[in-house]
Amino acid sequence: MTDLPPVDGAAADAATGGQQEILAVVLDKPSRASELLLALTNLANEGKITMHDAVIVAKDDDGRARIVETVDVTPAQGALAGSWWGMLAGLIIGGPMFFGAALGGAAAGALYAKLVDHGLEDQWVKDMAAWISPGTSALLLLVEAGFSPDVLTELARFEGTGRVAVTTLPPDARAEIEAALGQR
């Protein structure tokens, strides 16, 4: 295994305004990150944790990595949304402008998604995918620093199956998460 991909604290603060933190948990099976994300999503729906971005990185036993971004808008998604808005504008205005508005909307949507990436840095996600071992997974999160104790209770269900690989959370929060995962 190579060195852990670094998270530049200044870059993380600049990207997130210092209000959001990065948490990367490496888990023992390729499917385990999906299970943890589902559990945390349920807690997010109850207002017990705020997740701004979540990425699942899984590597099969042969070393093939799969990255699933759950929140971040890709240029293709932006282009699709932009084309719908463009078509709507074209229908309202009518005539030959219909197709031009659709194409312009698609281009604007793709550009928006490319320029306004408020989630985890794509290159860091790719580096994490290369870093994790075959037969494992990682859940990469961009979260609000404060969260309910229920989050720690939920993490304890994954005791012995995961470990904190990277975080920008304060040391006391990291220690609580590591304890819940059975690292200490």
Number of domains in the chain: 2
Instruction: Give Cα 149 distance to the centre of its chain.
Output: 22
Q: 85: domain range?
A: 75-115
Q: Are residues 64 and 129 in the same domain?
A: yes
Of 115, 131, 146, the position where a domain reaches its end is 115
Kindly give the confidence (pLDDT) of every residue in the chain, 184 residues in length, as a single tens digit, with 9 standing for 90 and above. Answer: 556 676 654 344 434 454 789 999 999 999 999 999 999 999 999 999 999 999 999 999 999 999 998 864 445 544 555 554 454 445 455 555 444 544 555 454 444 444 444 689 999 999 999 999 999 999 999 999 888 999 999 999 999 999 999 999 999 999 999 999 998 6
Q: Are residues 44 and 25 in the same domain?
A: yes
Domain for residue 48, yes or no? yes
Name the 3-class secondary structure at 67. Answer: strand
